[in-house]
A and B are shown apart, each in its own frame.
Chain A
Amino acid sequence: MSDDARDYEELGLVAGLEIHQQLDTETKLFCESPTELREPEEATHTITRELHPTRSELGELDEAAMEESRVDRTFEYLAYDTTCLVEEDDEPPARIDEEALEVAMSIADLLDADVVDQAHVMRKLVIDGSNTSGFQRSMLLAQNGEIETSEGSVGIVDVMLEEESAQRVEETEEGVRYSLDRLGIPLVEIGTAPDISTPEQAYEAAEHIGMLLRSTGSVKRGLGTIRQDVNVSIAEGARVEIKGVQALGDIRDIVANEVDRQVELLEIRDELDARGAAVGEVSDVSEAFADTDSGVIRGALDSGGKVTAVPLYGFDGLVGREIQPDRRLGTELSDHAKRAGAGGIFHTDELPAYGVTEDEVESLREAVDAGEDDAVAIVAAGADVADQAIEAAADRARSAIEGVPEETRGANDDGTTRYLRPLPGAARMYPETDVPPVEPDPSEVETPELLTERVERYADELGLDEGLAEQVAFGRRMVLFEEAVEAGVDPTFAASTLESTLTELSREGVDVASIREDALLNTLLLVEDGDLPKEGVNPVLTALAEDPDLTPEDAMEEAGVGGVGEDEVREAVQEVVERNAEQVEEEGMGAFSGLMGECMGALRGQAGGDLVSEVLREEIQKRA
C-alpha cells in the first residue's frame, strides 16, 4: 500500500498539530535560573523522589496518570550549580517571567489569536517524573487564531505558555534519571484545529508555524527545541495523539503511516466481526512449557515466574498482520504488555519460533481450548507482571474487535509509532494555587517582522543578494546580524561572515558553535573600524572557537593577524618601493599591481588590502 494510493478525502482524514517551542529567554518561566543546558557530568548533587497521583479540581483521577502510577518508581534528578529550589520543588514558584509572557504574546499576535483577559496558571498532572512537582505548569494565553496554507486556512485553537519538562538522561534500576537544566524553560504550545486534511498540508502548516515562531527572534534553535505532536483520525477511526515528532520532514510520513494503521485496524475489525471473534479468559499455562528450551520462557520459569495466556478466538492470522511497516497487531499487544513491565508477548501467528516448539504450541492451544481459527498470546515474566501484562494485552485485543482505540502514541525514528499511554483528559488539571492569575496586556507588544518579510527588506534596503538575505533571515544568527548592522557594520560583509564564513569554517572542522555572540559582533566591529583586515577574520574566528573566553583582540594576537598600524604599513611599503626604485621611476603607477602583491606578501595578511593600496599609491606618487 503506497501513500499515493490513499484518497485522504474519502477516508475522512482529520489531523491537527500541537507545536511546542522553547523560548530563548534570560531566565526560566517561574524562577531566576538561566535557560542554558548543562552536561550531566557537571551535576553537583542529586535528589531522589517519588510521585503519587492526586485528584483534579473536580475530584477526578486521570487515567493516564493512574496507569503511570501502577509502576513503583523512584526518580533521580541531576542538579547543577545553576539549579534553584523552585526547580527542585522545594520552594514555591516565583511570578510568571515577564519576558516569556511578552514573547508568547507576540507569537499569539503572529497567529492572529486573541489574548485572554486573565490567564490562570494550571497544574497539568504528569507523574512520569519529568517534572519534580508531578505536574507541568501551563496557562491558556490566547485563542481563536488562524494561519493560511495552500490547501486552505487552519484554525489555531489555543496558545499555551508552559514549563518545559526535565530532560530524561537514562533509565535506572529503580526508575528514571532526569536532568534539571531543561526543567522550567518557557515553552509555547500551539494547538491547531483539526482542519488539516492531507499529510502534505500537515507538513506545510507545521513549517509555516515554525517560520512564525522564528520570526520573533526569541525562540531557541537546535535539536529538541521544537517538537511537533500530531493528532490523526479517519472516519470510523479514532483520535490518536502522536508525540514527539522531532524532524519537520517526518510529519508527512507519520500522518500517512497513521492513516494506514487505522485503515488496517478497521479492516481487521471487519474481519474479526465477520468471524465472530472474541477474547477469552486469561489463564496460567506454565505447565505447557515445563520442559521448554525457549530462553525467555525458561528464564522466567526458573526465576519463579510463570507463563500466562489469553485465547483470541477467531484471531488466527490477524495478530501477525502488518499494520505499519514492520509493525503488526501483535506489536500493539506487545506494546501494552511492555507498559505493564513485561518484555513483550509471543503469539501463535509467529510460533513455533524463539525456541518454542511445535509440540509446545499444541499443548498451549489445548490448555486454553484454542482451535485452528484462533490465536493465543502469551507472556512469560515474574508472577505479578505476567498477570498484569497478559491482561493489558487482552484489553488491547478486545479493542481490536471494536476498531481503533483512542490513545497517545510516540513517534519512532522510522516514521512509525508505538503505544505510549491512554489519552490524557481534562481530569489532570488543577489550579496552580502558588501563582496568582495575570492579566496580560497585548497592546504593548509589537508585531514581529515575518522572516519572509525580512528577506525582502534585507534585499531591498540592505542590498543583500536574495540567497544571502534568505540565509541570514532564516539562520540562527539573524538577531546578531541585526545588531551588527545597527552598529554600523556593512550588511553584506556581516551577512557573508555570519553565514558563508562560519559555514566554511565549520566544514573545516572549526567548532563555530562555541564562539560567543558578543565575540562575533566585536570581530565584525574590529573590521568595520579598520583594526582587523578582512583577511584576518578566518584566523581570528578559528582562535575564538578554540578558546571562547578570548576577546577578539586577544584572538588577533593569538592568530598573529592585524595589530599592524598605518606607520608599520608605510614602513613596509616604503621598503618595497625603495627596493624597486628603478621600476617605479620608469613605470610610475604602472608598477602598482606588481608591487601590491609584494607589499601584501611582506605584511603577511596583517594589514588590510585597502590600507596597503592607499599607502602604496601615495608612496609611488611621491617618487614619480
Chain B
Amino acid sequence: MNPGDRVRVDHDGATDEGVLMPTTDEAHLVLKLDGGYNVGIAREGADVELLESDVYDVEEGEAGGGEDSEIEFDEDLPTVALVSTGGTIASTVDYRTGAVTARFDAEDVLRAVPELAGRANYRGRVVADILSENMEPSIWQELARAVEEEIEAGADGVVVMHGTDTMQYSAAALSYMLDTPVPIVFTGSQRSADRPSSDNVMNAVCAVEAATADAAEVMVCMHATPSDDDCALHRGTRVRKNHTSRRDAFETVGGEPLGSVDYEAAKDGQGDAAGVSFDSEYTARGEAELAINPDLATDVELVKPTPGMDPAAWDYLDGKDGVIVEGTGLGHVHTDLIPRLEELVEDGTTVAMTSQCIEGRVCDRVYDTGRDLLDAGVVEAGDTLPGTAKVKLMWALENARNPADAMGRDLAGELTEESQPWT
C-alpha cells in the first residue's frame, strides 16, 4: 500500500474510501476522501484494502499540473533573468514535515505567476533550492556568479527570487560583490505561494518592472503596505526584515526607500518600468562597468552582548578573522568584556561596532566605555546595520586594502556620512 493508492479502510465499524496520502505520523494513516477532505485514521485496528494502485502521483502532483508554457522571444521586450534560490515565492507542501518547502525552477515560477508573461523575455535559472534560513555564503558566491553571467549574456535586469528570512544578507552580499550596469532586484513572498492571497504575484510583477527601470542598484522589492497597492524598492544594504509575518515586513532603516512601484500601473506594464519611481539618487543604468569580486572571508561572527551573558560565550571568537559586535546603545559592551575584545584585536581580529538600537549611528566617544573600546582597537561601523556589517566585513577582509578602515567608510550605500532626520 503506497501513497496515491485508492483504498478502503474498515475501522470501528465504519468504512471509508479514499486516496492514501503520504504522512510521517506512525500512529495514523491519512486518507483523502472523495470530497477532498483529509482525515487521519488510527492505524491500530484499521483494516486497509487496496482498491486501485497509483490513482494519483501525489509526490509530483503539484509541479506536474500544467503544460510547459511556450515561451517565445519578443524583440520589443527587454530581457529579464529570473534567478531562483527557493523560498516561499515558489513553494509547495512537504510531506516529510507537513510544512511548506521549496522546489520550483524559474519556469515553474512563470507557470505559478502567469501575470509575468508579456513583460519581458525571460531567462530562467536555479542557483539553489533552499529555504533561506539555510543560506550559506558559498551560495551568495554562486548567486553572484550566476547574476554576472546573466548580465554578461545580455539580461537588461535581474530578478532574484529569494526566501525572506535572509534576503537582506544576500542582497547586501551582492551589493558588495558586483558592480552592475543593470538593476538587480530581490523579491519573495511573506505569505506562501500556495495560497490565493499570496503576495508573490504582486511582488514578482513589481520586481520585473523595477528590473527594467533605470536604477542599476541591488534592491529589495516587497510590499510597502499590508494592501496590494505599492511595492517599496529598498537599497540592498539598508533593508531589514522588521516583522515576522506581515507583507510589509521589509523596511529601509534610517531613511526613505530608494523608490516604489505602483501596482495598478505595473499591472498594465510591458517591461517598460511601468509604475516605477525613485525618490533618491541612484546609479543609472549603464553607468557602472560589470565586475565581480566574490571572495569572502568566512570566519566572521556577529555577536550580541546582553545583560547576564556568560563571558565564556565569547571564548569561541579566538582566531576569527573578524567580529561584528551588535552593542548596546551608542555601541557599548559590558566593561568586563572590553579586555576580551582588546585581546582579539591584538591577535589580529578586525572588530567593528554596530548597535542593537538598529536605528542611529554608533558613537564611542561619548562615554568612558566607548572610549575604552576605541582604545582597545574596536572600529565604529557608523550607522551600518549589524547584519550588513557582517557581510561587509566578510567581503572587506578579502577585498579591501584596510578592512578596519573600510568599516568606517561607505562602500555600497550601507553607511551615511551624516544623520539626516527623516521622520
Binding site for B on A (CB under 8 A): 46-61, 65, 74, 85, 88-92, 114, 116-120, 122-125, 127, 132-135, 138-140, 143-144, 158, 160, 425-431, 433, 436-437, 439
Shortest beta-carbon distance from A157 to chain B in Å: 9
Residues of A within 8 A of B96 (CB): none
Residues of A within 8 A of B246 (CB): 85, 90-91
Contact B93 A57 (CB under 8 A): yes
A-B contact pairs, 10 of them (CB 8 A): A54-B198, A59-B61, A88-B226, A90-B247, A117-B11, A118-B39, A124-B36, A133-B196, A158-B35, A433-B192
Contact B228 A120 (CB under 8 A): no
Residues of B within 8 A of A123 (CB): 195
Say yes or no: A437-B40 contact (C-beta < 8 A), given A58-B56, A114-B12. Answer: yes
**Tally of A-B residue pairs with Cβ under 8 A?**
148
Could you say which of B25-33, B176-184, B348-356 contacts chain A? B25-33
Say yes or no: A49-B227 contact (C-beta < 8 A), given A57-B32, A114-B14. Answer: yes
Closest residue of B by beta carbon distance from A424: B36
Closest residue of A by beta carbon distance from B196: A134
Contact A90 B40 (CB under 8 A): no
Residues of B within 8 A of A88 (CB): 226
Contact A431 B38 (CB under 8 A): yes
Shortest beta-carbon distance from A422 to chain B in Å: 15
Residues of B within 8 A of A430 (CB): 93, 194
Closest residue of A by beta carbon distance from B15: A144
For residue B58, CB closer than 8 A to chain A, the reply is yes
Shortest beta-carbon distance from A507 to chain B in Å: 47
Residues of B within 8 A of A51 (CB): 196-197
Say yes or no: A140-B196 contact (C-beta < 8 A), given A47-B227, A57-B62, A90-B247. Answer: no
Question: Which of A47, A119, A133 is close to B40, meaning CB atoms less than 8 Å apart?
Answer: A119
Alpha-carbon gap, A53 to B113, bound state (A): 10
For residue B400, CB closer than 8 A to chain A, the reply is no
Residues of A within 8 A of B190 (CB): 90
Contact A127 B196 (CB under 8 A): yes
Closest residue of A by beta carbon distance from B247: A90
Contact A117 B42 (CB under 8 A): yes
Contact A429 B36 (CB under 8 A): yes
Contact A144 B14 (CB under 8 A): yes
Closest residue of A by beta carbon distance from B194: A54
Residues B32-57 near A (CB distance < 8 A): 32-42, 56
Alpha-carbon gap, A102 to B201, bound state (A): 39
Say yes or no: A117-B65 contact (C-beta < 8 A), given A52-B196, A58-B56, A58-B58. Answer: no
Shortest beta-carbon distance from B328 to chain A in Å: 30
Shortest beta-carbon distance from A426 to chain B in Å: 3
Shortest beta-carbon distance from B265 to chain A in Å: 14
For residue B2, CB closer than 8 A to chain A, the reply is no
Closest residue of B by beta carbon distance from A56: B36
Alpha-carbon gap, A49 to B225, bound state (A): 11
Residues of A within 8 A of B56 (CB): 58
Alpha-carbon gap, A78 to B28, bound state (A): 41
Alpha-carbon gap, A335 to B38, bound state (A): 34
Residues of B within 8 A of A53 (CB): 196
Alpha-carbon gap, A55 to B194, bound state (A): 7
Residues of A within 8 A of B286 (CB): none
Say yes or no: A122-B28 contact (C-beta < 8 A), given A53-B196, A90-B226. Answer: no
Closest residue of B by beta carbon distance from A92: B245
Alpha-carbon gap, A117 to B27, bound state (A): 10
Shortest beta-carbon distance from B62 to chain A in Å: 5
Say yes or no: A426-B40 contact (C-beta < 8 A), given A47-B226, A91-B245, A134-B196. Answer: no
Residues of B within 8 A of A428 (CB): 36
Contact A50 B40 (CB under 8 A): no
Contact A120 B61 (CB under 8 A): no
Contact A135 B36 (CB under 8 A): no
For residue B99, CB closer than 8 A to chain A, the reply is yes
Contact A122 B195 (CB under 8 A): no
Say yes or no: A89-B197 contact (C-beta < 8 A), given A48-B227, A50-B228, A114-B12. Answer: yes
Closest 9 CB pairs between A and B? A134-B196, A118-B40, A429-B36, A426-B36, A59-B65, A59-B61, A120-B38, A140-B37, A51-B196
Residues of A within 8 A of B99 (CB): 433
Say yes or no: A116-B41 contact (C-beta < 8 A), given A55-B65, A59-B62, A90-B247. Answer: yes
Alpha-carbon gap, A426 to B32, bound state (A): 10
For residue B98, CB closer than 8 A to chain A, the reply is yes
Shortest beta-carbon distance from A183 to chain B in Å: 12
Residues of A within 8 A of B16 (CB): 143
Closest residue of B by beta carbon distance from A86: B245
Closest residue of A by beta carbon distance from B40: A118
Give 7 new A-B contacts, CB below 8 A, not counting A134-B196, A426-B32: A47-B226, A49-B228, A85-B246, A90-B191, A125-B196, A140-B35, A431-B93
Alpha-carbon gap, A61 to B58, bound state (A): 15
Residues of B within 8 A of A132 (CB): 197
Closest residue of B by beta carbon distance from A55: B65
Alpha-carbon gap, A429 to B245, bound state (A): 24
Alpha-carbon gap, A427 to B62, bound state (A): 12
* Most chain B Cβ neighbours within 10 Å, of A50, A123, A134: A50
For residue B100, CB closer than 8 A to chain A, the reply is yes
Alpha-carbon gap, A46 to B64, bound state (A): 38
Contact B41 A52 (CB under 8 A): no
